Amino acid sequence: MGRDNFPVSPGQPETKTSNNPLIVEDTPRIRRYSCFLVIIVLVVAAAAFAVTLIDPVELNIKLLAMKNPDVKRYAIKNLAREGDSRAVGPLVRECGHPYESIRIAAVLALGEIGSHDAIVTLEVMISNGKDYDLSYCAVKSLLRVVAHCADGTPRGEGCPDDRTAVELVEFLKHRSMLSHVDYIVSESLFDEDVNVRILAAQILAHIATEGVRGSLEDAREDEDGRVRKAADRVLTRLGDPPSTRPEPMYPDDILHPPLENEYHLRLPLNLE
């Protein structure tokens, strides 16, 4: 009996056994896509491995040399985060960039790195005096740099040679072009780095004025005893605030006390 004469059971439709032509046609395409996907994964993995071999500091220094301001700002931000002293030289050059935003970003990055090699540049930025915002940021960065000793020891642990801090005090005392230098220093009393707070209080002991009394009062509540002690010394030197000092009594005030209404004429009292 041939295949075509094979009887079909009642109620069961006759079907043909054949492969789906779509699946047969798509099989090579799926294989190509799979290979392409594997290649992409391998390329991405190789690129990620190559990035790990690249020095991020050197990479961002090269980006810093590009002319695009956005690329420069991106590189400066990364160098500040890395905190590597190799970036000091390139960042110093950017302190003379025509764009103010680039100059300020470079100055702040030098403070984050904290290398003493940046002290001279930061002092020049302060002495410039033409750009107050730049001078303001330079003072803040300079405090962050000197908050650590030249050997990297935190100032709170004591420096073997404290000449740098003394020179900094003398430098800031003679910055007449920056009239609010004591106020800028007082803002560092609330820095997250306790060494910056200690240094700020020590500097204010030499340049503090009545305008920063409120900041010093707040520093008395600092969590670190060294900051509280330094703030107390400064406030002791400043003495009582003017509002609490007794007003001197002159003979004219005794003979002619002011009337309750200051707009009335002062009439002499009848002393008889």
What is the DSSP secondary-structure string of 124-155? HHHHH-S-HHHHHHHHHHHHHHHTB-TTS-BG
46 residue type, one letter: A
Report the greatest alpha carbon distance in the chain: 157
Question: Domain tally for the chain?
Answer: 2
Tell me, yes or no, whether 130 lies in a domain: yes
Question: Are residue 152 and residue 237 in the same domain, yes or no?
Answer: yes
Question: Are residue 198 and residue 214 in the same domain, yes or no?
Answer: yes
Q: How many CB atoms lie within 10 A of CB 4?
A: 5
Question: Are residue 151 and residue 234 in the same domain, yes or no?
Answer: yes
Question: Are residue 141 and residue 205 in the same domain, yes or no?
Answer: no
pLDDT interval class at 210 (50, 70, 90): confident
Pick from 236, 224, 176: which is nearest to 199 by CA?
224
Tell me, yes or no, whether 126 lies in a domain: yes
Which pLDDT score is estimated for 161? 63
Question: Are residue 170 and residue 236 in the same domain, yes or no?
Answer: yes
Least confident of 70-84, 123-137, 249-263: 249-263
Domain end marker among 103, 125, 146: 146
Which pLDDT score is estimated for 82? 92
Average pLDDT of the residues of the chain: 78
Tell me, yes or no, whether 247 lies in a domain: no
For residues 79 and 92, the answer to whether their CB atoms sit within 8 Å is no
User: Using one digit for the tens of pLDDT, what is the confidence trace for 21-35?
Assistant: 544 455 667 777 777
User: Using one digit for the tens of pLDDT, what is the confidence trace for 79-126?
Assistant: 999 999 999 999 999 999 999 999 999 999 999 999 999 999 999 998
Tell me, yes or no, whether 102 lies in a domain: yes
Overall average pLDDT of the 206-230 stretch: 90
User: Using one digit for the tens of pLDDT, what is the confidence trace for 170-187?
Assistant: 888 877 555 688 888 999
Tell me, yes or no, whether 183 lies in a domain: yes
Which pLDDT score is estimated for 178? 57
Alpha helices in 54-128 (DSSP H): 56-64, 69-82, 88-94, 100-113, 119-128
How far apart are the C-alpha atoms of 39 and 86, rounded to whole Å?
38
Question: Are residue 231 and residue 151 in the same domain, yes or no?
Answer: yes
Domain end marker among 98, 129, 146: 146
Tell me, yes or no, whether 270 lies in a domain: no
Tell me, what CATH number does 140's domain have? Answer: 1.25.10.10
Which pLDDT score is estimated for 38? 79
Residue 224, helix vs strand vs coil: coil
Question: Are residue 71 and residue 132 in the same domain, yes or no?
Answer: yes
Question: Are residue 237 and residue 153 in the same domain, yes or no?
Answer: yes
The boundaries of the domain holding residue 154 are 147-241
